[in-house]
Amino acid sequence: MRVAVISDIHGNSHALEAVLDALGAEAADEIWCLGDTVGYGPEPNRCCALVAERTTLCLAGNHDLAVSGAISLEEFNGDAAAAVRWTRQAIDAASLEFLRGLSPLGRREGVELFHGSPLDPIWDYVLSEEAARRSFEATSAPLVLVGHSHVALVLSFDGARIAGGLAAADEAVPLGNERFLLNPGSVGQPRGKDPRAAWMLVDLDAATVSFHRTEYAVGATQAEIRARGLPEALALRLALGV
């Protein structure tokens, strides 16, 4: 089975639609989303509708849980809080119902999935070797998938040593005998000074992962952010990929 894994869409429907087009060409059997469908971006309802329709598994991220009221706004600062506040008043009934049905962790055969990490599926970031080691030790599945940091990662663990690091665009990696922890990066607010939307394709039968970047109309999302009065920094960062 070939699974396209997306994460951290953050209300950016132009990025999401470009990625859905691109992964359709790769003939993915299923699409899994690791959370944060909303927050920061201008099109939360369109993104919820598309994710609800197209994915077979979707996790809740910290922004999703804040918008649905499951966690407090006090956990957020600055632009993130302003965006959650805006999204709470913009979200429609169907999107809210969708978000309320999501969990920050999930499981499929041979795969454990978390928005943050196994230690804290909502808030923890896996961005260091130490964090990766703790995540491997807290799980037993051959494959661990995380989102939340917006940084594409491929890390392996042979029971003693962590190897790997940042995943480059268009990089393909065989998933060998070690266990692996993968992060697809972010669809709607990508990092690494690369503004293209990030996602990955996992072939569970062939045991390979490939990392992808897809161009989208950044200017269209920026115009929507400005039209809705969301913080200007949220528009500017999209063009820079930071």
Residues in contact with Zn ion by CB under 5 A are 8, 36
We find the least distance from the C-beta atom of residue 104 to Zn ion, in angstroms, to be 12
Asked if 152 and 192 count as a contact pair (C-beta separation under 8 A), the reply is yes
DSSP 59: B
Q: Which of 105, 175 has the CB closer to Zn ion? A: 105
We find the least distance from the C-beta atom of residue 199 to Zn ion, in angstroms, to be 14
We find the least distance from the C-beta atom of residue 120 to Zn ion, in angstroms, to be 14
Q: 197 to each of 32, 189, 200, how far by Cα in Å? A: 16, 7, 10
Q: Which of 214, 212, 232 is nearest to 222 (CA)?
A: 232
Q: Which of 8, 203 has the CB closer to Zn ion? A: 8
- Amino acid occupying residue 146: V
Q: Which of 10, 179 has the CB closer to Zn ion? A: 10
Query: What share of residues in the chain are helix, strand, coil (percent, to 5)?
Result: 35, 25, 45
DSSP 103: B
Sole residue written with tokens 């928005």: 115
Asked if 102 and 59 count as a contact pair (C-beta separation under 8 A), the reply is yes
We find the least distance from the C-beta atom of residue 149 to Zn ion, in angstroms, to be 8
Q: Which of 12, 214 has the CB closer to Zn ion? A: 12
If you count them, how many residues does the chain have?
Answer: 242
We find the least distance from the C-beta atom of residue 47 to Zn ion, in angstroms, to be 12
Q: Which of 2, 88 has the CB closer to Zn ion? A: 88
